[in-house]
């Protein structure tokens, strides 16, 4: 794997650790990944969930905690790699999260879960590299064309998230359950063709990182052969000692079988991939009463939502798995032990054989 230039920085090892909320990827995991030369990513999704005032003032708590998480991650990185944040486009007060992260000195902002059309506006004047998450050539074209027309700029890098990823997904439930009606490698080629138009216009390189189902060095090699510059990996990093989630959460990954992975309907209005457990069985075909709204996402209406996704994710990351939502990638069943970030990075980049 070759180093990749992103804006004014160099990513020594082109592996991005995918952002995982709530609380799964904070400074501990992000800092450890960056220290190994990759890009560690802090998820801003309810990042202040364990702050004393979170329940009464969730947005204020999140925005207060975020700068400290970024700074701690950068300190842990010891000058290596890059530190990014993942900010969902459907986040309430999205612009404030972007500006807060930029002011804290974050190296990159990755944004998906909707079209991040306004990301350049809120990040203007800062040095952070900006990257939209795209799942199709159509979405890549829409975003890059909009940024070009509206802001006279293009993306600093792209993350292509395929149908095997975890969490919220940019595909229909039918596409995910049927395995997709297309050869996704072909879709990746189409996205690469689309981004080349903007590379030519702006006379700059737009590195591409492929995500979704990346598990081992063979997957990395395949992504590079397709024309990607690197990969984004999430699930592999959950089962590491450095991950910020509880030990119970990590054990759920280690003990998971392939048949435990299911597609769920999120209150956000998007399908998601998660581990089947008591909570999933409880919400299947029925609703839970929402007694408290955390005002987390624009797309969620507590009056019609069949469960509170914030509370479900908080329960899970704290270890209350029977009442928690455990997002995961499609290949979680292949994880067999708790490892370390260093070992995972070496395995993905084949450094142990070099």
Percent of the chain with pLDDT over 70: 97
For the packed helices 341-349 and 27-35, what is the interaxial angle rounded to 10 degrees? Answer: 50
Give the mean pLDDT of 301-310: 80
The H or E element containing residue 174 is helix 173-177
Query: Alpha carbon of 118 to those of 112, 141, 318: distances in Å?
Result: 12, 15, 33
pLDDT at position 277 over 80: yes
pLDDT at position 297 over 80: no
Give one DSSP letter per residue of 303-333, joined into a string: TT-SS-HHHHHHHHHHT-GGG---B--TTGG
pLDDT at position 168: 83
Q: Using the Cα atoms of residue 28, residue 33, residue 39 and residue 45 in order, give the sign of their dihedral.
A: negative
pLDDT at position 303 over 60: yes
- Contact in structure between 60 and 278 (CB atoms under 8 Å): no
pLDDT at position 283 over 90: no
pLDDT tens for each residue of 31-87? 999 999 999 999 999 999 999 999 999 999 999 999 999 999 999 999 999 999 999
Phi, psi for 110 (deg, rounded to 5): -110, 130
pLDDT at position 287: 76
pLDDT at position 229 over 50: yes
pLDDT at position 172: 83
- Whole-angstrom distance, CA of residue 273 vs CA of residue 262: 6
Higher-pLDDT residue of 25, 114: 25
Phi, psi for 202 (deg, rounded to 5): -100, 0
- Whole-angstrom distance, CA of residue 13 vs CA of residue 1: 7
pLDDT at position 351: 55
Give the mean pLDDT of 116-123: 97
- Whole-angstrom distance, CA of residue 156 vs CA of residue 188: 18
pLDDT tens for each residue of 147-163? 999 999 999 999 999 99
Give the mean pLDDT of 107-127: 95
pLDDT tens for each residue of 320-345? 999 999 999 999 999 999 999 999 99
pLDDT at position 353 over 60: no
State the chain's mean pLDDT as an integer.
93
Q: Is 195 exposed, middle or buried (0-12, 13-18, 19+ CB in 10 A)?
A: buried
- Whole-angstrom distance, CA of residue 53 vs CA of residue 50: 8
- Whole-angstrom distance, CA of residue 216 vs CA of residue 346: 10
Strand, helix or coil at 17? strand
pLDDT at position 352: 45
pLDDT tens for each residue of 162-214? 999 998 888 888 778 765 546 899 999 999 999 999 999 999 999 999 999 99
Higher-pLDDT residue of 304, 67: 67
Phi, psi for 210 (deg, rounded to 5): -90, 135
Question: Which pTM does this prediction carry?
Answer: 0.94
pLDDT at position 179: 58
SS3 letters across 100-136: HHHHCCCCEEEECCCCCCCHHHHHCCCCCEEEEEECC
- Whole-angstrom distance, CA of residue 17 vs CA of residue 19: 6
């Amino acid at each position: 794997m070759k180093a990749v230039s992103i804006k004014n920085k160099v990513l020594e090892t082109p592996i991005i650790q995918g952002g995982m909320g709530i609380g799964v990827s904070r400074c501990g995991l992000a800092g450890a990944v960056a220290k190994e030369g990759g890009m560690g990513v802090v998820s801003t999704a309810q990042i202040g969930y364990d702050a004393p005032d979170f329940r009464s003032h969730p947005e204020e708590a999140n925005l207060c905690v975020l700068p400290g998480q970024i700074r701690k991650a950068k300190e842990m990185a010891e000058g290596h790699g890059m530190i990014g944040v993942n900010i969902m486009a459907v986040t309430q007060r999205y612009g404030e999260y972007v500006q807060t992260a930029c002011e804290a000195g974050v190296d990159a902002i990755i944004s998906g879960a909707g079209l991040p059309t306004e990301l350049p506006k809120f990040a203007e004047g800062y040095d952070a590299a900006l990257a939209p998450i795209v799942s199709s050539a159509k979405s890549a074209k829409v975003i890059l064309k909009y940024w070009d027309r509206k802001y006279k700029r293009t993306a600093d890098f792209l993350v292509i998230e395929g149908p095997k990823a975890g969490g919220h997904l940019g595909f229909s439930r039918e596409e995910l359950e049927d395995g997709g009606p297309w050869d996704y490698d072909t879709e990746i080629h189409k996205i690469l063709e689309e981004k080349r138009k903007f590379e030519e216009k702006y006379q700059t390189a737009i590195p591409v990182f492929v995500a979704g189902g990346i598990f081992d060095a063979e997957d990395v090699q395949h992504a590079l052969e397709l024309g990607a510059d690197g990969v984004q990996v999430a699930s592999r990093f959950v089962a590491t000692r450095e991950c910020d989630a509880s030990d119970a959460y990590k054990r759920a990954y280690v003990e998971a079988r392939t048949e435990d992975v299911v597609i769920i309907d999120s209150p956000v209005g998007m399908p998601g991939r998660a581990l089947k457990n008591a909570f999933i069985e409880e919400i299947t075909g029925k609703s839970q009463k929402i007694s408290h709204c955390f005002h987390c996402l624009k797309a969620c209406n507590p009056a019609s939502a069949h469960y509170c996704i914030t509370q479900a994710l908080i329960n899970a990351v704290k270890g209350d798995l029977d009442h928690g939502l455990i997002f995961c990638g499609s290949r979680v069943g292949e994880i067999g032990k708790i490892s370390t970030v260093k070992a995972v990075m070496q395995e993905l980049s084949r450094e142990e054989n070099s």
